[in-house]
Amino acid sequence: MPVMMQKKDEILIMLAHYFVTESNYTPIVVNGVKDEVWLENNEGPYKLIRINANHIHNDEQLKYDIYKTRSIMRQVKKKTLSFTMNTLNIFLDLGDSVNLKPLKNIDNITIESVDEIKKQPELNSIFPTIKDKILDKHDGFELLVDATNGINKKTEETNKIFEETFKPKFIYVTLLLILACILMFIITSITGGNTALNLYRWGANLKEAVVNHHQIYRLITCTFLHANILHLILNMYALYIIGSQIETYLGKLKFIAVYFISAISGSLMSIIFSYNLSVGASGAIFGLLGSLLYFGYHYRVYLGTVIRTQIIPIIIINLVIGFTLSGIDNFAHIGGLVGGYLATMAVGVKGRSKKSDIINGWITLSIYLFILIFLAFYYVK
């Protein structure tokens, strides 16, 4: 027996199915709403799409509806750490006397029939595949089943990637890096102590040695050396906490790439702005914070609050401390932070980064490193 369904409900199901399965939009939970669907995709032509099946009687009710829409936009904007939030507002049941007007950051369109989906000019210009990809079922039950199956399949694929990314994994690259730092601390301690001269002998970073004597290896070896036991303990604790997360989220090979690119970036920034001896893993660790920032942005629906309340404050507090106290190479921190962010953009986040994002990441990272190398070796004397 066919399922009787209101025409606007059919349109809502068709549109929601298309946006989720074909345009990579994700349904988001919005408290206090009824008969409407909210979809989010920060990489889409609209960051938010709202499909509203509520009946709007007149302009006064429309005005209140727009006010409610903007309120929800602000909530999503805050949660997803977005500076701008453009929304496509699709009305399925508008009164004849309602006058839709263009609004800042909100495009309002109305669709009142199934055929209109394929004819609506604004919708088809922005989503050209909608004509061919929209479900076209006349039986309510068949439409409901196909739409549900399609959305469930897409959700299963997304959940699989999410599970693979966040599930606990055996961490050993981070532990090996920590072990290497501890071993080097022991070696420097028993071969002359952690004096400036002995740290220099074992590979500390120094502009004179790197630039004039071409001892490029110091850009890496300095990250395994530490000035004292407190320096070592603080850095290894931070490396264990942050490194284990990045190794889990990105995978071991990408983690290695991000760590050492961050280390090199931090060391280059250090010799551009400082002539002092520099040691420590903190530049690379700041790179992991930059990596976590980039990763968290792509999973902002899940980690938005963590980024805003924990990661960003930690970065800011540590940079402020670095500029306030003497003896801290804050330029290495800044170089590592930027390098880690760009390196993660280049290696990509599984299931989130598009091919174009990765290409742009490698281009941007290459330009950034080229500028650092030029400044360090040829410009700043």
Report, as residue numbers or ranges, the catalytic residues: 282, 333
106-110 and 87-91 strand pairing: parallel
CA 269 to CA 283: how far, in whole Å?
Answer: 10
Determine contact, residues 289/339, Cβ cutoff 8 Å: no
What one-character DSSP code corresponds to residue 81?
Answer: T
Determine contact, residues 34/40, Cβ cutoff 8 Å: no
b/e map of 85-114 (b: 16 or more CB within 10 Å)?
bebbbbbbbbeeebebeeeeebbbebbeeb
SS3 252: helix
> CA-CA distances (angstroms) from residue 138 to 3, 15, 142?
10, 15, 8
> CA-CA distances (angstroms) from residue 116 to 7, 124, 146?
12, 10, 21
